[in-house]
Amino acid sequence: MVKSKQKLRRRLSLNLLVLYGLGNILGAGIYVLVGEVANRAGSFLPVSFVLANLVAALSAYSFAKLSSAYPTSGGEAAYVQAAFKNKLLPLVTGLGIALSGIISSATLSKGFIGYFHQFIPDLSPVVILFGLIGLMAIFATNQVDRAIKIAGAMTWLEIIGLIGVIIFGTLYIKSNQKPLDINLNPNDIIGNLGIIISGSFIAFYAYLGFEDMSNVAEEVKSPEKNMPRGIYISLIIAGIVYLLVGIIAQTTLGTEALAKTNAPLSDVFKLATGVDFNILGLIGLAAITNGVLIQIIMVSRLIYGVNRDHPWMGFSLLQKLNRNNVPARITLASAIIIFILTNLFDLSTLASITSTILLAIFGLVNLSLIKLSLDKKLPLGKSIWIPILALIANAILIFFSLH
């Protein structure tokens, strides 16, 4: 008897795809890392954000082309497999994404401490991390349906918080007639290119999420048209929002104060509104919690799937599902690793490692598009320079991060 191949139904319109993309991109990264970008780039923070957005846009071109030509739920691993017909590379790609998810969770968990300390300043970071990561692991193993619904609601809270920073920050700057704390002098930009690129490397983390849009390509209506449009529109909107948030945060607090704070957007909102009740601190906590939860769910399912398809990996002990049909042991193991990493490394290091891994995976995706173009399977013509330039840009960011 021949098994029928099931396919997911194409229900996502362009509008829904853009909403999904923005939900992935406009996340906790900006709540946590805008201060670290200021620490690295100083008054060139907006330039770093623009540069990071351009680097992301170059790789987004490859994801747009590949997801429209191969609209499957396999994402990056599927593109690498299509280009190189190699069993090892898709496996490495899948494991790389899982590893980046674990370290990304550790990054967000580290940022959670700064926001939490605004409410209970004396509580030990180890206790905070144990509570956060442990609770998210419990949600991921026993209340997945509810957790996903909560995550959707938290995404809208994150966006509302960013809009609040833009509106109230702008009003504060205008009423106090504060000059914009940015440096756009071309000579200064050229002379400080190193620190600008270093800031861009950290800012790049905030733009991550557009690549996840390729995983729903199988459910998108007219993917050959809507996948490229959806990816580009999402990145453009995110780029504008992040640029505005960065400029407003730096001008409101000042570069030096922004670089030192552990809860950047919360401090901006409190100063701009004069409200003692820390509304944005709560939203920041919700945004970070949401990010950690989503990453733990993604990582556990990805490792489960990879190990199921490659049983020689030897993780059979972790493969067992619990009564909720969830890979609880893998989830628990992931949570333990996240907890250890969060206690071992600082925020900047964790964000840097995450960005490095994903830049390397993006490099494989760009190489896949180049290979498919050269093999005449997905001809690009003169546009082949875009994935080539993406490779170069990714390599430059990684190089400057190591120096």
Q: Report whether 336 contacts 130 (CB < 8 A).
A: no
In a domain, 71, yes or no: yes
Is 246 a member of any domain?
A: yes
Q: Would residue 1 count as lying in a domain?
A: no
What's the distance, CA 14 to chain centroid?
21
How confident is the prediction for the chain on average, in pLDDT? 86
Question: Is 5 a member of any domain?
Answer: no
CA–CA separation, 227 and 199 (whole Å): 29
Band the pLDDT of 257: cuts 50, 70, 90: very high
In a domain? residue 203: yes
CA distance linking residue 359 with residue 402, whole number of Å:
13
Return the number of other C-beta atoms located less than 10 Å from residue 401's C-beta: 20
Q: Is residue 360 part of a domain?
A: yes
> What CATH number does the domain containing 41 carry?
1.20.1740.10
Q: Which two tokens stand for residue 89?
A: 């590379």
What is the tens place of the pLDDT at every residue in 367-401? 999 999 999 999 898 899 999 999 999 999 888 77
The candidate with the shortest Cα–Cα distance to 233, out of 261, 213, 253, 263, is 213
Confidence of residue 1 (pLDDT cuts 50, 70, 90): very low
- CB 76 within 8 Å of CB 97: yes
Q: What angle do CA 102, 204, 159 make, to 5 degrees?
A: 85
Question: Cα separation of 246 and 165, whole Å?
Answer: 10
Predicted pLDDT at 174 = 93
Count other C-beta atoms under 10 Å from residue 185's C-beta.
12
Task: Determine, yes or no, domain membership for 153.
Answer: yes
Residue 222: per-residue pLDDT: 85
Range of the domain at 296: 14-401
Taking only the tens place, the pLDDT of each residue in 199-220 is 999 999 889 888 878 767 777 8
Q: Is 4 domain-assigned?
A: no
Q: Rg (Cα) of the chain, in Å, rounded? A: 21
pLDDT digits (tens, 9 = 90+) for 36-90: 999 999 999 999 999 999 999 999 999 999 988 888 766 788 889 889 988 788 8
SS3 helix, strand, coil % of the chain, rounded to 5?
80, 0, 20
Q: Which residue has the higher pLDDT, 152 or 188?
A: 188
Number of domains within the chain: 1
